C-alpha cells in the first residue's frame, strides 16, 4: 500500500512538473510572438503571402470548376480534391487579412481571426493531402485490396467530413487560446502529416519502379514512367514546402528555453516558419492535375492502340 501511494505521488509530481514546463514554454513563446508581431517583417511575409494568393487562388478555383462542371458524378478521388480546393480557396480569401496585419503592424483583435484561418492551411490542407497520398499509395502498392475495399465514394465523404470537423475544431480552439500556446502540439501534428505524406510518396515511387508481368528487361511502361515522374514532382514539392517544418518543434523548444525576449533573427526565422507552409495550397491542384493528365494520356494511348489494331484487322481482311 505504501509503495502504491509513493508511486502515485511520484507520478503526480512528474505530471505537475511537465505541466509547469509546458505552461512556461507557452507563456515564453506567446510573449516572443507578440513582440515579433510588432516588428516589420513585410520583406519576408508579404512576398510569400502575395505569391500564395496569386498562385493558390486561381489554381484552386480552376480545380473546383473542373470538378463541378462535369456531368458525371464525382469519382471517389474527386471527393477529396473537391474538399481540398474549397478549403484552400477559403484560406486564400482570408490571406488579405494577414497582409493587412503585416502592413499596419497593429494586429489587435484581428490577430486571433487570422491565426484561426491559418489553421486551415496548417491542419486542414496537410490532412487532406495526407489522405490523398495514402489513397494513391493503396491504389498503387495494394491494388487488389484497394479495388475491393477502398474505391468507394462513401469512404472519401466520411474522411472529408472528419477533416472538416477536426480542422474547424482546432481553428476554434486556436481563436480562443491563441496560436503560440498551441505551437508545440501543432508542430508535432504537422511533422507527423509530413512524414506520412513522404512515406506514401516514396512507397508509390518504389511500387512504380518494380517491373510488372510481361515487362521483361524494359524499364517500365509508358504510363508508369509518367506516373513515376509526377510522383517525384509531388515528392520534391512536398519536401521543399513542408521540409522546414521538420525543424519547427526543436526550434520552438530551443527558443522557449534560451530566449526570454524577441530578437530580429529570432522573429525572422519564426516568420519564415509561419509563412512558407502556406505555399502548400498549390500542391493539391498539382497533385490532382498530374493524376488527371496521367489518366487522360493513358486513355488517349489506349484509344490510339485500339484504332491501330482495328485498322490492321481491316487491312488483313
C-alpha cell at 76: 471517389
Average pLDDT, integer, range 308-315: 56
Local confidence band at 154 (pLDDT 50, 70, 90 cut-offs): confident
Q: In which residue are the cell numbers 476554434 written?
A: 172
Distance CA 49, CA 44 (A): 9
Q: How confident is the model at residue 19 (pLDDT cuts 50, 70, 90)?
A: very low
Spatial neighbors of 267 by CB under 8 A, at least 6 apart, are 32, 35, 36, 39, 41
Q: What is the pLDDT of residue 289?
A: 67
pTM here is 0.73
Q: How far apart are CA 208 and CA 90, in angstroms?
A: 35
- CA–CA gap between residue 88 and residue 80 (Å, rounded): 12
- Taking the CA of residue 294 as centre, how many other CA atoms within 13 Å lie in the half-sphere pointing to its CB? 17
pLDDT digits (tens, 9 = 90+) for 23-73: 444 545 666 666 666 665 667 778 888 888 888 899 889 888 888 876 666
pLDDT computed for residue 207 by the predictor = 82
| Average pLDDT for 159-176 | 88
Distance of alpha carbon 61 from alpha carbon 85, whole angstroms: 7
pLDDT at 59: 87
Neighbours of 153 (CB within 10 A): 14
- Interatomic CA distance for residues 25 and 31, integer angstroms: 10
SS percent in the chain: helix, strand, coil, step 5: 90, 0, 10
The Cα 152–Cα 299 span in angstroms is: 22
Cell of 199: 512515406
Q: Which ranges in 38-124 belong to alpha helices (H)? A: 42-69, 76-104, 110-119
Checking if the pLDDT of 165 tops 90, the result is: yes
- For the beta carbon of residue 26, count every other beta carbon within 10 angstroms: 19
Question: 52-66, 142-156, 209-223: which has the minimum mean pLDDT?
Answer: 209-223
Amino acid at each position: 500500500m505504501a509503495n502504491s501511494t509513493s508511486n502515485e505521488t511520484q507520478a503526480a509530481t512528474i505530471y505537475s512538473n511537465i505541466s509547469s514546463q509546458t505552461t512556461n514554454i507557452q507563456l515564453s513563446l506567446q510573449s516572443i510572438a507578440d513582440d515579433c508581431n510588432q516588428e516589420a517583417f513585410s520583406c519576408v511575409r508579404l512576398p510569400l503571402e502575395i505569391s500564395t494568393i496569386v498562385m493558390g487562388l486561381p489554381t484552386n478555383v480552376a480545380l473546383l470548376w473542373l470538378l463541378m462542371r462535369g456531368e458525371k458524378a464525382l469519382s471517389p478521388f474527386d471527393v477529396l480534391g473537391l474538399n481540398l480546393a474549397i478549403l484552400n480557396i477559403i484560406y486564400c480569401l482570408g490571406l488579405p487579412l494577414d497582409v493587412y496585419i503585416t502592413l499596419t503592424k497593429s494586429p489587435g483583435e484581428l490577430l486571433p481571426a487570422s491565426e484561426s484561418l491559418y489553421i486551415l492551411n496548417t491542419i486542414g490542407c496537410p490532412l487532406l493531402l495526407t489522405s490523398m497520398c495514402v489513397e494513391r499509395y493503396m491504389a498503387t502498392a495494394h491494388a487488389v485490396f484497394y479495388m475491393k475495399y477502398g474505391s468507394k465514394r462513401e469512404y472519401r465523404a466520411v474522411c472529408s467530413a472528419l477533416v472538416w470537423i477536426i480542422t474547424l475544431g482546432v481553428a476554434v480552439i486556436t481563436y480562443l487560446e491563441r496560436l503560440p500556446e498551441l505551437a508545440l502540439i501543432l508542430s508535432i501534428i504537422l511533422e507527423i502529416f509530413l512524414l506520412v505524406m513522404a512515406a506514401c510518396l516514396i512507397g508509390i515511387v518504389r511500387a512504380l519502379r518494380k517491373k510488372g508481368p510481361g515487362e521483361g528487361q524494359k524499364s517500365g511502361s509508358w504510363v508508369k514512367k509518367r506516373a513515376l515522374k509526377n510522383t517525384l514532382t509531388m515528392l520534391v514539392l512536398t519536401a521543399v514546402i513542408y521540409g522546414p517544418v521538420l525543424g519547427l518543434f526543436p526550434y520552438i523548444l530551443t527558443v522557449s528555453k534560451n530566449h526570454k525576449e524577441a530578437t530580429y533573427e529570432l522573429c525572422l526565422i519564426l516568420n519564415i516558419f509561419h509563412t512558407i507552409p502556406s505555399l502548400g495550397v498549390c500542391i493539391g491542384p498539382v497533385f490532382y492535375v498530374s493524376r488527371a493528365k496521367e489518366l487522360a494520356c493513358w486513355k488517349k494511348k489506349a484509344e490510339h492502340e485500339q484504332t491501330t489494331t482495328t485498322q490492321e484487322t481491316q487491312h488483313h481482311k
